[in-house]
Amino acid sequence: MDSVAVEKEKGFAEGEHVVLRPVLEDDLRELAQLMAENPYEHEPTPWTYQRLKKKFEDKDQPGLWERENKVYSVVRKSGGLIGFLKEAAERGDMYWCILHLGESLPDRDALGLDLVATYLAYQQRWGKPRRISFDLLLIEEQKVQWLEGAGFERELVFERSVLYRGEPVAVGYYTWIADWALARRAERVLAPGEDRLRGRE
């Protein structure tokens, strides 16, 4: 009996269940559906397949991969697009993100926990992130659990700020801050000129 070799997905980061990689042209139809399914985005854009394809084929900035704004495809290690993660970088060490996995996935919780942990490990492996924040609707309880499971904490809540299916709901920001940044924040910082005044005492 011949055995068929299954080609594993390759990307920038690999977790127990998922791989993060750039968006490929073959992803675009499914990606458009996942983006339409996602219940919240800070600056909502109706990403249809046609619009995604047009952006993907842009002659100046092809793909969905810019210097400060990136879209990662989230795929199973064995293959198959299951979600996406959007990242906006600020000053090279702060990241503002959204994530989404298909609503009907039977193992969605295991995949979501793995996705957040994989992304956090990826950022720490290749850089020195100061903070990483995700924003989402607080009614998305699974996503809240994934983020809290990876050490993210609720930082900010905007009550009744977005309409979801005709009802006002809260938006929450979940944030991870590096230990070194927390330590620096706790340091006593002198106001301008305070060092000179202290010398006169």
Which pLDDT belongs to residue 193?
57
* Residue 111 forms part of a structural domain: yes
Banded pLDDT at 45 (limits 50, 70, 90): confident
User: Who's near 32: CB < 8 A, 6+ residues apart?
Assistant: 47, 48, 49, 51, 52
Banded pLDDT at 8 (limits 50, 70, 90): confident
State the residue for tokens 């002198």. Answer: 190
* Residue 3 forms part of a structural domain: no
Residues paired with 173 in a beta bridge: 135, 156
Q: What are 112's two structure tokens?
A: 């979501």
Q: Can you give the C-alpha Rg of the chain in angstroms?
A: 20
Report the distance separating Cα 98 and Cα 194, nearest Å: 42
Lowest-pLDDT choice from 25-29, 84-88, 163-167: 163-167
Nearest to 134 by CA among 170, 176, 185: 176
Lowest-pLDDT choice from 13-22, 122-131, 187-196: 187-196
DSSP 113-155: HHHHHHHHHHHHHHS--SEEEEEEETT-HHHHHHHHHTT-EEE
Which pLDDT belongs to residue 47?
82
Residue 63, Ramachandran bin (φ over 0: left; ψ between -120 and 50: alpha; else beta)? left
* Residue 4 forms part of a structural domain: no
Range of the structural domain that residue 63 is part of? 13-200
Report the distance separating Cα 11 and Cα 14, nearest Å: 7
* Residue 120 forms part of a structural domain: yes
If you average pLDDT over every residue of the chain, what do you get? 89
Report the distance separating Cα 87 and Cα 75, nearest Å: 17
- Mean pLDDT throughout 161-166? 92
* Residue 6 forms part of a structural domain: no
Banded pLDDT at 121 (limits 50, 70, 90): very high
Structural domain count, the chain: 1
- Mean pLDDT throughout 4-25? 85
* Residue 103 forms part of a structural domain: yes
pTM of the model as a whole: 0.87
Nearest to 134 by CA among 164, 78, 4, 123: 123
CB 143 within 8 A of CB 37: no
Give me the count of residues in the chain. 201
CATH number reported for the structural domain that contains residue 178 in this entry: 3.40.630.30
Lowest-pLDDT choice from 2-11, 77-86, 114-123: 2-11
Which pLDDT belongs to residue 156?
95
Lowest-pLDDT choice from 6-15, 96-105, 124-133: 6-15
* Residue 107 forms part of a structural domain: yes
* Residue 143 forms part of a structural domain: yes
